[in-house]
Structure 1
Amino acid sequence: MGVFVVVGSSGSRRRRRLWRFAGAEFDEASWTLRVDGQAVALEGKPLEVLHELLLRAGEVVAKEEILDSVWAGVTVVEGSLPTAVSKLRKALGAGQDDVIETVPRIGYRLTSPVKVESIVSPLTPRFSFAPGDTVPGRGQWRLDRPLGDTGAEDVWLARHIKTGDQRVFKFADAPDRLRDLKREAALSRLLFAGLGQAAPLPALLEWNFDASPYFVEYAHGGRDLLSWAAEAGGLAAIPLPQRLAVAARIARAVEAVHGMGVLHKDLKPANILVLGDGDEAAVRLVDFGSGRLLDDTVLDSFAITHPGALEVEPGQADGRSGTAAYRAPELVGDALPTLRSDVYAVGLILYQLVVGDFAASLAPGWEAGVADPLLREDVAAACAGAPEKRLGGAGELAQRLETLDERRRRAAEDDEQKRFLETQRALEDRRRARRPWVRAAAASLVAGVLAASGFAAYAVHQRDQARSAQALSEASYRFLAEDVLASVDPARASSAEETLVQAISRTGGAIEQRFRDRPEVAAYLYGSLARAFDLRSDYANATRYYEAADRAYARAGAADSAEALTVRLQHAAALALSTRPGTLNQARAAIASAEKTLQARRIDEPETTVWLESAKGAAALASDDVPGSRAHFERAYRLVETLPQTFTERQRINFGQRYAFALIRLGEGKAAEETFGALSERMAKLMGPDHADTLLLRLNLAQAYMLQQRSAEAVALTSELLPKMETRLGRDHRHTLLLLAVRQQSLGVLGRYAEAAADGERLWRAAATKDGASSFTAVAGRADVGISQCRAGQLDDGMANLRASLTALRSDLAGRMALDDGIEAAIADCLIQARRWDEAAALLKDIDRTKVAQLVGDPNWGAQVDLALAEIALGRADRARAKALLETARPALSQNKDPFVRQRVAALSQALAAA
């Protein structure tokens, strides 16, 4: 029995076995026999025989087994094996003849005790190949560069001398490595025989198992995951949905391999290839040198020669093979590998793809790095420490990832239902809290002291509240019927709706006089009018009535009531969304004050919570904190949908609209499209297809199309909506201008710059007249005109408008915003066209890519900055930097459908390719 000693371990080092016996050493790494410390010159076949005997030291190894291993597939003369043994005995020296015992008519046995040391040493290349060398035995192919992450340089990318086609060659320099190649070739042939062209691995084209260096030759299957990530500027730079799609394809590939009864046993990023980009990217698995078959008889079904050591049986399969970092916990001991061992490796790779770091490990606390609870569940299920608790197959993991959006939807519905139940429990708790009063009233009645009881006072209070509510309703109705509706002047109306608005404006001042002694009624009416103007985006009138409502609540002695705080929060949201100078800071102060009062008075009503979250979402949106706005708006929307008795259908749709708009700002176009589509259908059913609110939701739907670069659909929808919105809202209404902005940008993407500039000119001038030259819409509108002019070649006019918009933006707004960076990037593009490289580079230096990406709703926007920097580098004759920047940006730019960007990419690529 040999002694197995392991000295050290590291993923960047190679293990070699050193066999010691009878005063001799056999080193597998160098394939050298040393006797008494001196290397012995010996041919390859005797050393292979020695290796077979060492592997089964103390056992009788049959002649047929040795011949099959050492002279596989070769017809040999009868004396070949005895001759090899004789040379071995001679090499071991005099007096060592009995070390190798001849067992008559059976075979040979190594009788000496054997000590086996597994030593790790720094990796050095196995071969002396260099780029440009010819592939041994394949004269038309030249080695390009080594592949893989081991440092062994035994896998090379090669190119055909004439055609430039690419192939991958994997080499071996010793019998044990040859055995791995044979195993890999057999498994590759099996998988292609069973799966056909759907086999998830590169095609095996040729092999050489006759002369060293041995090799297998594969079709080029793409770049490995490590290179794929590096080309994108790092794994974290690749959008998470794209990373998850690759993870799902990896799981499907492993599922297919497992379906043929093959275990990979060494799954890791370096052994997974990605061919292509985006939705068309295909995944391939490579390096089956450690692979095993669950049932080796399947080879016979496909007439494939058995290479040996493919079955998983006790004593034959080495569960410890594979890369340590990706090895399932049970394989640290003597457990045999199973399908679940490969699933563990896929789960770890999924985790690394999610967190954006291939160096990440499942150390305690790893869950904190995965924000999505469903993905945390998936990683935990695939990487459970106990195999029996792990997912049963890679297909289960693929199914989870492929249905992630649906699972998220169901989880959101479950959360919504949970919140609804919690709200109902809270209401029930409050009802229970009032029941002691009921019991006290009964007791007081029996005692005959009802009039003096505490419950009597409570009942009177409740009765007065009911009477007050009835009086409020009646007073409000009389005001609307007598003062508002009766005052409509049809002769002054352009439409019924506008006449009603005019009537409200004329009669709003009468509230103060009519309800001088009923300030609570005045406050209610002022709040109602404020919300009406708020919904029309008439923030000036909305603010006027919100402030009047606040004063009325104060006169009524209810300044800190839930109703007053709700109105204050509604006002804060309107201030945040008005985009007028200074209103954002007012909104933040109002929200902070209201929240402080709510906490001090312990007001915890679902309705007030909805308005608080909505106001916070509006302030976050105006502050460019788009993720924060989405979180607040989503909480408000999910909660309001559980309160149909408190909020009308129209109000609930409005909250959903704000949530969906945050999705647009985050670049989640598909989710925004689905949400806006559903909301517009609900609004059309409620108010009609041509109602202003329905039109606005359809405008938001056009924005979702634009975000997904479905520009033709966006132009068609906005062109349909424009005359309707002009009629319903007016030519200069904020939402009409927003519609023009969507159409202008979509026209630009389609390369229709003249039309885009016309829309932009109208947008800019109308917004400047309405909201001021420094308002967001005016600044953005003028900037868009400048961009269109630059793209049309009108560089001087374009830069003039862009610089003027930047000056207007900075004149009233404190601090640098995302729009500043976006405009500066646009000016830089104009400067690049004018070949003013230094000025353009200075502007691009401090661009905040993340904020601009959120502003424009394009998560890949930053790639356009790299494109601009690449153009500058080429202009400065720095071709290497230009090429590197372009290659970094190319994956993201390949998804950009803007013809102007595509033309720039094509022109730069052509210039770099030119001699």
Structure 2
Amino acid sequence: MTSQHPHDDQAPTESLATRLEGAATAPDGTLAPGARLGRYRIEGLLGRGGMGEVYRAAQLEPVRRTVALKLLRSQRLQARHLAYFEVERQLLAQMRHPAIAQIYDAGATEEGFPFFAMELIEGSPLTRYCQEHALPLNQRIGLFIRICEGVQHAHHKGVVHRDLKPANLLVDTIDGRPLPKIIDFGIATAATLALGDAAMERAGTPEYMSPEQAHGDAAQLDTRSDVYSLGVVLYELVAGMRPDAVGETWSADTVTAMAPSSRLAALPAAQAQDAARDRGLSLPRMRRLLRDDLDWIVLKAMQHDRNARYDSVSALAEDLQRYLDGRPVQAAPATRRYVWRKFAGRHRTAVVAACAVLLALLGGLGLSLYGLQQARTQRAMAEARSAELAKVAAFQQSMLEDIDIETMGVGLSEGLYRQVESADPSAADAFGKALAKASTGDLARSLVDRQLLAGAEAAIERDFADQPDVAADLRESVARVYAAIGLYDKAAAQFGEVAAYRSRTLGEAAEPTLRAQQAQVQALLEGAHVDAADAVLRTALPRAISLPVNDRTRVKLELAQVQVISARGDRERAKGMAQAVHERLVAAVGERDLAAMEALNGLAAVQRSVGDIEAARANMEKLVPLRTAALGPDHEETLSAMGNLAVMRIMSGEKQGAVQMQRQLTDIYLHRLGSEHPVTLQARATLATMMVDSGQAAEALPMMKEVLAARERVLGQDHPQTLRTRLNLATAHARLKDFASALPLEEQVIRARSRLLGPAHPDTLSILVNHAGTLLNDGQAEAALGLLGDVQPLALKALGGKHPQAQIAMVIRAEALRTRGQREQALVQYRELFDLRRTLLGEEHVETRVAAWNLIDVYRELGRPAEAEPLYQRYVAPLLAADAKTLSEPEAEFVALYREGRRPGKQ
């Protein structure tokens, strides 16, 4: 889990300069674009209602992001309500759920008008979204369940929404899936506080209010009021219309609302047909689906007696899930006939088979004897067919697993060239040169996906329905091909089906089941689906402990858990877990065991993430020869280790050798996998980044742009690797002094990581530090200091002093102070950095010498040469006097910079 970040809660509202008087206004009385409200700048009006307005606004500090700013100007908060409102604000800030739009800030203007700064959601109201996308009924219910989970999360935090309606339940399509977001949590609280005791608890929307809320009975208002509102929304979602406002909802005099199926039956035929068609159903089938279960669920949620409703939103969601699963719902009368009907619906095949058996028994003893003889004949035929089928399946499986994208790509290239050469020899040379620039591996991968694997999936469903064991083996082969060609989402789906089948037939702890789950987890992690991978791990890992200590499946599952924990930001814990796995394996089977090598690779990766570069490099220097000896130099795992080692070397200052190694790896992957395979894109991105770090930013820029475009197309805009490439492209622009291009790219990454990972995640903090450095280099020292004022303490806490980004933050702060002429303050920061590096890295490390150099410069600028001279003699003079042949690459670079008069540490 990510740690809490102060930016989420913001500073206390009392410290904000939020006066509306004098702010720029539009002719209609709303705030005009450009108007300021505290730390927010208004960009435009999104909507307006009886309680106030919603604006699109830019938050200017302490982080920059776009928010939805809701200003309630119908009433002012009374002074006696301010403390209660502050408590509510703190409660709202604690909510963290994917289905809840995050509230960043809340407060009141100096005139007493409440406001909320919320996550800006570019979505449609729930009912409109379902209608525009013609979502089937079951998908609508599944989407509604996710909304219920978000509301239940808020209830656990002690927050009741009080205004649940489709307009506050927004849905957007993310990665092809509908993603709901609940907005306006706490708005009703602010409104009731502003309106005063006389109208307590009446804030909300009449058509969706519970009776107790509509009648102003504050003593009875609790989470069940939200259950009622959700019942009205569910009614509208499944039936296509709300229950009548008068007599059934907020001012109801009747006890029970009309059931959705009854309302549907009362509609004009054309309107009812439209409602069914929107849900992908015929009208008779929609009537059957609404009748009973959905009627019961909706009416139970909307009971006027709150004690007769579901006692929680989770109970409502659970009953809806029972409906989707075909199980008896809790809202239904528990009659034997109903329970039996549900059982038969879930086990239709078994019930039909049982009935067939019963009829056969009633057929008589004479027929059974005849049937026995026939059965023996059929069994012999089936056994012969099964043996033949097994041979065919084994052949097909071997064909799938032997697919080689590299060979196919080369074959395509050679075949095309021969055809052109045969048809027009004079054009062959030009065509060959053009073909050399194309990626036939990418073409082969696309053909395999669309022509071969899609057909294989269909054939498995069609031809092996009666041979589920064979189907599972073939499906696993298809999944492995999907993974090999970089289509990780499709691979994860296939592995998931294989795991589910083997769990049912072999058991949850069987090795084939766990092996399929491990492959599913790895594909999910490659596709950046951390939460989904964690869900599978929670099931698989406890059962994998029964496998041998060095079983590869068990070790890979353990290391996948390390990846999940690291991805969520708790990297010190992840490092400790990886260390424990490696030590256990070395003690049990030795360091040359393949499982122990895998653990060493995982340990080095997490050591690198926490900034322990020397330890990570030492482990990779050990691993590469171990894997080369055990697997060969061209094995996939050996190449992967070499790539990690190249990164470790450049982070240690050995730039030229690292670039050369990475360039060789990139050429290998381009040849084997094509230019847009995720593995190749990773290699190309790493090479471009190394070139930037080695002073070749201009040469790296085109490659970086190509990789970014490919990752946006192949992986998506918000994939972690896409964001990393966008950040690296910003770095390349910054190295070329093109800050106008660098700063917007960095801001895009900041917004995406803050939204996806949280503002206190190590990756978010790292980009904030980089952004401060870019601002400084662009001449914005004041802005850099302002950003670091919040970020630097968090970076030091989350990353640790050993992490390079934490130290870079200290350098940027010192340089910004120095730029502003505050040399005494800069001296304090540089002294702290110097002491830290001496402790962590030692007296002779080149980074310690760099820190000493900065101190020397500041002492001299302050007119204190007596304090600068000992540092110069101890840390700089020995390198300047040394034989150049004896210097390491980082030391030689240090000497070159010093002699050129270029101060180190300036970003």
**Bigger fraction of residues in helix:** 2
Question: Which structure is larger by alpha-carbon Rg, 1 or 2?
Answer: 1
Higher RCO structure, 1 or 2 (CA under 8 Å, sep 6+): 2
**Bigger fraction of residues in strand:** 1
